């Protein structure tokens, strides 16, 4: 028998790990190759510690990914045999290591994680006008959408899980009481399902029908995404779910000047208006302005410049990231490259793929727009007719 514990680090702990263990008054170490044998007391075996090895994200336990997507080194700790004193001393040593070297341990026997609390702290956002990052996924898929969402949030961003959900306010169900099965069945019922997350994720929705395919949306307080751990976790969720659902388009965009009470969010008169890519008659095209992140499926990639600024390939799809930090449409437009004698900005995407903004009633939501000139074939959803205006 043996007892195993894995420790994960953001950086290679190197000699710091060896020095930390050697400094323990009751322990003695012997370094053999890249590994360490630890004895306790008068020479009784305690544990064996492997050398740090690089680990890929997909190999991490879900419990570790959900706390940070940036851990890239793993150290395996093994207690050979079933001596309870050795196991207890090794557990104590592992706790000391993770706290001293900013690691996280995972015990496969119990699935316990130490530290048990999430590593991403939420910085309070004062009440007043705030910016949101609104993420939308669009896919032709009709089945398994809610299941894919639950699995992706569990792995990358538990705060986006549907804490409360239902088809109308007050939301009827709770995930901790009614379970994921109820969320999945309600999402497949044909009505739009609304849900609340955990800060900084505020709310979201899922809708699935034969004409529109699937749309999943969440809203996140933008200020939180200035912190790298939150930004990395949200981006991992964004890309993973887009791939799982086979999205033809997904976006993350900053919407400015919403009213935040400290507990609830709403659209007041100052709030920026968001264009709707899908309207009554069908798909309208891409937004008429730059967005912070864009995912373009295989239907769109033959029509875009894959060597453009911020573009990277994701298999047959493409990911466009215009800035590291969340930025609104005006800030993004100001950073686009310019060309020609008049130094006109290069469009964020081919103009024929974008909706055309139309002057209309400034109080109307969503703002008026005309369908994009070109919509690629094979989206798998209804498409608005050419020239259609909303």
pLDDT tier, 243 (very low <50, low <70, confident <90, very high otherwise): very high
- Whether the predicted pLDDT of 321 surpasses 80: yes
Return the minimum-mean-pLDDT range out of 63-72, 245-254, 325-334.
63-72
Average of per-residue pLDDT across 336-365: 80
Bridge-based pairing of strands 44-49 and 35-40 is antiparallel
pLDDT tier, 189 (very low <50, low <70, confident <90, very high otherwise): confident
Average of per-residue pLDDT across 78-102: 92
C-alpha separations of 49 from 17, 33, 115, 215 in Å:
10, 11, 20, 47
- Per domain, the residue ranges of the chain are 2-114, 128-370
| CA dist., res. 201 & res. 114, Å (int) | 24
pLDDT tens, position by position, 267-292: 998 999 999 999 999 999 999 999 99
pLDDT tier, 110 (very low <50, low <70, confident <90, very high otherwise): confident
pLDDT at res. 67: 58
Measured from the Cβ of residue 57, the count of other Cβ atoms closer than 10 Å reads: 15
- Whether the predicted pLDDT of 359 surpasses 90: no
Task: Decide if 148 contacts 214 (C-beta within 8 A).
Answer: no
pLDDT at res. 345: 65
- Whether the predicted pLDDT of 63 surpasses 80: no
pLDDT tens, position by position, 30-41: 998 889 999 998
The pTM is what? 0.74
pLDDT tier, 45 (very low <50, low <70, confident <90, very high otherwise): very high
pLDDT at res. 288: 95
Q: Helices (H), strands (E): how many in the chain? A: 7, 25
| CA dist., res. 46 & res. 39, Å (int) | 5
pLDDT at res. 340: 62
pLDDT at res. 368: 93
pLDDT tens, position by position, 148-160: 999 999 888 989 9
pLDDT at res. 141: 86
pLDDT at res. 370: 96
Domain 2-114: top CATH class: alpha beta
pLDDT tier, 388 (very low <50, low <70, confident <90, very high otherwise): very high
Average predicted confidence (pLDDT) for the chain: 90
């Amino acid at each position: 028998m043996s007892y195993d514990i894995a420790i994960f680090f953001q950086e290679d702990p190197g000699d710091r790990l060896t020095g930390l263990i050697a400094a323990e008054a009751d322990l003695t170490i012997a370094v053999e190759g890249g590994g360490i044998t630890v004895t306790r007391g008068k020479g009784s075996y305690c544990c064996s510690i492997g050398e740090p090895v690089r680990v890929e994200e997909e190999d991490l336990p879900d419990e570790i990914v959900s706390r940070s997507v940036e851990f890239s080194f793993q150290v395996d700790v093994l207690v050979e045999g079933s001596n309870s004193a050795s196991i207890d001393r090794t557990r104590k040593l592992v706790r000391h290591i993770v706290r001293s070297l900013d690691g996280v341990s995972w015990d496969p026997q119990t699935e316990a994680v130490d530290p048990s609390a999430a590593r991403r702290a939420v910085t309070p956002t004062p009440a007043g006008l705030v910016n949101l990052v609104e993420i939308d996924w669009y896919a032709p898929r009709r089945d398994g959408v809610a299941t894919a969402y639950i699995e992706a949030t569990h792995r990358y961003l538990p705060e986006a899980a549907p804490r409360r959900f239902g088809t109308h306010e007050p939301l009827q169900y709770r995930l901790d009481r009614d379970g994921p099965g109820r969320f999945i069945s309600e999402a497949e019922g044909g009505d739009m399902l609304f849900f609340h997350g955990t800060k900084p994720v505020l709310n979201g929705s899922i809708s699935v029908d034969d004409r529109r395919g699937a749309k999943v949306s969440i809203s996140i307080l933008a200020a939180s995404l200035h912190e790298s751990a939150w930004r990395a976790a949200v981006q991992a969720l964004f890309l993973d779910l887009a791939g799982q659902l086979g999205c033809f388009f997904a976006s993350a965009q900053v919407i400015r000047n919403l009213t935040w009470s400290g507990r609830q969010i709403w659209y007041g008169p100052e709030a920026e208006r968001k264009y709707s890519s899908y309207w009554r008659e069908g798909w309208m095209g891409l937004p008429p302005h730059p967005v912070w992140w864009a995912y373009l499926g295989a239907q769109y990639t033959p029509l875009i410049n894959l060597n453009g600024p911020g573009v990277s390939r994701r298999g047959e799809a493409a990911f466009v990231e215009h800035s590291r930090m969340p930025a609104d449409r005006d800030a993004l437009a100001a950073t686009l490259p310019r060309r020609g004698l008049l130094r006109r900005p290069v469009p964020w995407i081919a103009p024929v793929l974008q909706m055309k903004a139309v002057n209309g009633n400034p109080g109307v939501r969503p703002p008026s727009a005309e369908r994009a000139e070109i919509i690629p074939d094979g989206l798998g959803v209804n498409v608005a007719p050419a020239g259609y205006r909303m």
